[in-house]
Amino acid sequence: MQRGQTLRKWFWITAAGAVLFAACGKDNPFLPEVRQDNEVWIQSDGFNPKTLKVSAGTTVEWINKDSEVHLVDSGTPGNPTLLFTSTNIKPGSSWSHTFTKAGTYDYYCRIHGRTGTILVE
């Protein structure tokens, strides 16, 4: 084999390896994403999970997996508790809040009225 051919061969082997490596990686779009223990996914049908159990000191992250803007507000529709209020959570973005004390924290989407609970132990 000629030197040029050998180089080309190794180029393609390296390129194929890089593509395979990327495909097997964490951000592989072909693999389903896994929700982390401190995450609430905002989906078109509501908060997932509807009740999230965490330990005190956990930073809970609401991730908007929907195509609409959502806004997380503590309390229940019509009865906000003013403990936490998110900014507008746009599709693909997220908002976080750290829960330092044990308790049951109800929240809802101020735009759509859907409800959820954070159970802090």
Residue ranges in contact with Cu ion by CB under 5 A: 70, 109, 111-112
Shortest spacing between CB 38 and Cu ion, in angstroms: 20
- In the complex with Cu ion, the residue whose CB is nearer, 35 or 112, is 112
The tokens for 94 are 């997220």
Shortest spacing between CB 37 and Cu ion, in angstroms: 23
Using CA atoms, how far apart are residues 85 and 24, in angstroms rounded to an integer? Answer: 38
Largest CA distance in the chain: 78
- In the complex with Cu ion, the residue whose CB is nearer, 6 or 88, is 88
Shortest spacing between CB 115 and Cu ion, in angstroms: 10
- In the complex with Cu ion, the residue whose CB is nearer, 14 or 51, is 51
Place of tokens 């859907």: 114
Instruction: Compute φ and ψ for 117, nearest 5 degrees.
Output: -140, 140
